[in-house]
Amino acid sequence: MNLPIYLDHHATTPVDPEVLETMLPALRGEFGNPASQSHPFGWRAQEIVDEARRTVAAFIGARSASEIIFTSGTTESNNLALKGCLEALRLKTAHVITQTTEHKSVLEPCRYLETKGFQVTYLDVDSTGRVDPGALERAIRPETAILSIMLANNEIGTLQPVEEIGRIAKKREIFFHVDAAQAAGKIPIDVNQMGIDLLSFSAHKMYGPKGVGVLYARSERPRVKLAPLFHGGGHEKGIRSGTLNVPAIAGLAKACEIAGRSMDEENRRVKSLRDRLEKALLAGLGDAFVNGHPQHRLAGNLNISFLYIEPEALMAALQQDLAVSASSACSSGIPEASYVMKALGIDGQRTHTALRFGIGRFNTAEEIDYAAERVIDAVKKLRKLSGLAPGS
């Protein structure tokens, strides 16, 4: 067992060795530019991109490879989905519906759209982080143009009832965008079954390289038109100009292929490790509470609050041995609970003392047992030092 142990797979994932092997030829001999169509180097690069587009389309159940647009990652894809869709509709004003716990790469574009005259409704979630489809439908107005609801939350792992929301969107003839950055490769995605019109995800969250992502845009029933965010050489049918990152695109496709064939088995294994860690921590410590939905949650996610400590102090105590993440942001040196935790409406202490464990493909039972021991020991010591815990 090598230290430190990586338990922050929601932030990013290591590149799978199979993915790296797939990328290497495009970094060496097959290094051509797909836009160079006058010689074999460009032809081969185009072949790699075309094959990758077909693989990604099949992975999410898209009808056509032409519905796949390659981007730099989910942030760009989310911006292109929201801004590009609304600009293409040529509406002077329109209404957007999202939720308070979305990733900043959806919330910030929505706030930008508000400065341009668009109206945005930010739906509340329940104490487990789920949005109410009934409340969503009641929020729809005649001018509502697009819904944007993430599939899985990056902090608490809660899965949203996307298929039900997709049916509402279809019934009301509204475009439905889904940020699937945390879900892609971890749960099955079928854009047609789920009623999704626009879907965003990144390679680096699913054991692929950083700097490459996907935007799926439905081509029929309904057709989604997009205006580009920036202009240049007209790549990706003029929607996303810029030389394609061929090695990364090849790696993304391989990551999708691996996930497609191993998802069920991997989820069972990762969930067993997650449950093992959760059981050990709750048995070894009092005043510890799991956040997020108990069932509708990513297999590798464990967000847990340890009362009577500061999460930053706990991470500092663990950082030589464990890579984990606090569900809080620090502004000007002042610890502040994350907006996701605040949105759950739970006890203030739980909101401020949450730690996120992200378990992944290469973690082992030995690592999980060691992590549990280290966390239990560190929490007990910190509580004793704080003098805030009962009996300390």
Asked if 175 and 124 touch (Cβ cutoff 8 Å), the reply is no
- How many whole angstroms separate alpha carbon 309 and alpha carbon 325? 15
Q: What are the φ/ψ torsions at residue 383 (nearest 5 degrees)?
A: -65, -40
For tokens 């992975």, name the residue: 59
Classify residue 333 as left (phi > 0), alpha (psi -120 to 50) or beta: left
The β-bridge relationship of strands 95-99 and 144-148 is parallel
Residues marked active site are found at 330
Q: Which two tokens stand for residue 33?
A: 């530019």
- In sequence order, the 6+-apart residues with CB closer than 8 A to the CB of 161 are 130, 131, 133, 296
Q: What are the φ/ψ torsions at residue 71 (nearest 5 degrees)?
A: -130, -170
For tokens 């077909």, name the residue: 54
Closest CA relative to residue 120, chosen from 144, 97, 146, 148: 97
- How many whole angstroms separate alpha carbon 44 and alpha carbon 28? 13
CA–chain centroid gap for 36, Å, is 34
**Cis geometry, peptide bond prior to residue 4 (ω within 30 degrees of 0):** yes
Q: Is the dihedral of CA 369, 370, 371, 374 positive or negative?
A: positive
